[in-house]
């Protein structure tokens, strides 16, 4: 699974540009699912099994990134954020565009380091000598994402875009382990989550599931002077109670807790202040769909170096398989 995590986190795939990610997922799932299709918004929808209920699993394929807004006469790119990005996490980092163009992020002079760092005062330098040279390699609207290698420290893993490629990998691994599911599984690797949970809504509308589970990352409260949050790395999958967008449907939350207890794996209850997941969009689709979330505890979310615990990841796979088995 670490091989897959490395592939999925090192690939390029900001919101709306999920193609390279879906390509890896399709190759990985070949022979393990009954059907695969990519829909209008760019969601990859795969199915497995044909019984009742209809279960939707969602993990978003997109990642946060930047979009070029302007190229100045000296060839520097101005940019805006694609998804939730903090300027302080970006300076000195490298970004890559779909065609392979690389650049580094710089900033205009600041009178005092106490002055707030703002995106408008930052730029991407792709090494071009002037606008004409830059324009040969990038165009306004092109999107870039961070560049960072996948690192395996043994117990913990560091990479860009664990949000939500770790969720994608968990769903892939769970699908492989569910040999003959008794229900109909619709696993959706969703598009455009980071810009407002867009793909998950249209996918849920089309699938009309009886129940849905999103698999996505959540924050932790276990680093120096971090915000208080009762979720930590290595303490098991987090089962969502609420976040900035939703209250998890009680029956899904309870069923996930029961599944974790049957497996005798550690789990944690999650209340996330701010932020949400695909489950938010799914839950309020159609006449309402019971929805819950398995969250992977993740440090440094939305930075180029997110960190997860390898045992948590494995336990998320087991929890998802057991939950679906019990439906
Ligand atoms: Co995110
Ligand atoms: Zn996410």
- 64: helix, strand or coil: coil
133 Cα to the center of ligand 1, angstroms: 33
Q: What is the separation, in whole angstroms, between the first and last Cα of the chain?
A: 26
What is the sign, positive or negative, of the torsion defined by CA atoms of 45, 284, 294, 179? negative
| Separation between Cα atoms, residue 279 and residue 21, nearest integer Å | 21
- The pLDDT tens digits for 142-195 are 999 999 999 999 999 999 999 999 999 999 999 999 999 999 999 999 999 999
Ligand that lies nearest to the alpha carbon of residue 61, given by its number in the listed order: 2
Helix (H) or strand (E) holding 224: none
| Separation between Cα atoms, residue 24 and residue 172, nearest integer Å | 11
| Separation between Cα atoms, residue 46 and residue 33, nearest integer Å | 7
- Residue 320 β-bridge partners: none
- The pLDDT tens digits for 243-277 are 999 999 999 999 999 999 999 999 999 999 989 99
Check whether 283 has a pLDDT greater than 90. Answer: yes
- Residue 35 β-bridge partners: 47
- 102: helix, strand or coil: strand
Q: How confident is the model at residue 115 (pLDDT cuts 50, 70, 90)?
A: confident
Residue 193 appears among annotated catalytic residues: yes
- The pLDDT tens digits for 9-47 are 999 999 999 999 999 999 999 999 999 999 999 999 999
Average pLDDT for the chain: 97
Q: Provide, rounded to the nearest whole percent, the portion of the chain with pLDDT above 90.
A: 98
- 96: helix, strand or coil: strand
* Residues whose CB is less than 8 angstroms from the CB of residue 63 and which lie 6 or more positions away in sequence, other chains included: 13, 14, 15, 83, 145, 160, 161, 163, 164, 165, 194
**Mean pLDDT (whole number) for 40-68:** 98
Ligand that lies nearest to the alpha carbon of residue 195, given by its number in the listed order: 1
278 Cα to the center of ligand 2, angstroms: 8
Check whether 74 has a pLDDT greater than 90. Answer: yes
- Residue 218 β-bridge partners: 297
117 Cα to the center of ligand 2, angstroms: 24
What is each CA distance from 115 to 22, 106, 118, 122, 123, in whole angstroms? 41, 16, 9, 13, 17
**Mean pLDDT (whole number) for 90-101:** 97
128 Cα to the center of ligand 2, angstroms: 33
What is each CA distance from 291 to 25, 68, 241, in whole angstroms? 24, 36, 11
**Mean pLDDT (whole number) for 185-210:** 98
pLDDT of residue 231: 97
pLDDT of residue 80: 98
pLDDT of residue 142: 98
- 131: helix, strand or coil: helix
State the residue for tokens 């892939």: 172
164 Cα to the center of ligand 1, angstroms: 7
pLDDT of residue 9: 98
pLDDT of residue 112: 85
Ligand that lies nearest to the alpha carbon of residue 278, given by its number in the listed order: 2
Check whether 111 has a pLDDT greater than 90. Answer: no
Q: For residues 200 and 110, which has the higher predicted lDDT (pLDDT)?
A: 200
Q: Which of 28, 63, 193, 194 is catalytic?
A: 193
pLDDT of residue 113: 81
* Residues whose CB is less than 8 angstroms from the CB of residue 256 and which lie 6 or more positions away in sequence, other chains included: 213, 239, 267, 292, 294, 319, 323
Answer whether 13's CB lies under 8 Å from 20's CB: yes
């Amino acid at each position: 699974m670490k091989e897959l995590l490395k592939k999925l986190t090192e690939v390029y795939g900001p919101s709306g540009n999920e193609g390279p990610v879906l390509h890896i997922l399709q190759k990985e799932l070949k022979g393990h699912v009954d059907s695969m299709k990519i829909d209008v918004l760019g969601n990859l929808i795969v199915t497995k099994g044909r019984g009742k209920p209809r279960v939707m699993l969602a993990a978003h394929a997109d990642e946060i990134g930047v979009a070029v807004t302007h190229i100045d006469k000296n060839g520097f790119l101005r940019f805006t954020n694609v998804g939730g990005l903090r300027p302080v996490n970006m300076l000195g980092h490298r970004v890559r565009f779909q065609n392979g163009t690389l650049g580094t992020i710089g900033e205009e002079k600041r009178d005092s380091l106490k002055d707030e760092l703002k995106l408008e005062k930052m730029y991407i330098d792709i090494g071009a000598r002037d606008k004409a040279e830059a324009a040969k390699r990038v165009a306004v609207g092109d999107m870039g994402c961070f560049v960072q290698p996948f690192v395996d420290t043994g117990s913990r893993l560091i990479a860009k875009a664990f949000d939500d490629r770790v969720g994608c990998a968990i769903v892939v691994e769970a699908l492989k382990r569910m040999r003959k599911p008794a229900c109909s599984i619709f696993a959706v690797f969703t598009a455009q989550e980071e810009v407002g949970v867009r793909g998950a809504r249209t996918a849920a509308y089309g699938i009309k599931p009886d129940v849905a589970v999103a698999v996505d990352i959540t924050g932790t409260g276990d680093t120096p002077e971090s915000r208080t949050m009762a979720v930590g790395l290595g303490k098991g999958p987090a089962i969502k109670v609420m976040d900035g967008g939703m209250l998890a449907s009680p029956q899904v939350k309870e069923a996930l807790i029961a599944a974790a207890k049957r497996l005798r794996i550690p789990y944690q209850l999650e209340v996330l202040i701010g932020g949400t997941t695909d489950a938010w969009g799914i839950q309020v689709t159609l006449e309402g769909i019971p929805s819950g979330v398995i969250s992977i505890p993740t440090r440094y979310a939305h930075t180029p170096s997110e960190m997860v615990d390898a045992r948590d990841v494995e336990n998320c796979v087991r929890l998802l398989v057991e939950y679906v088995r019990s439906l």
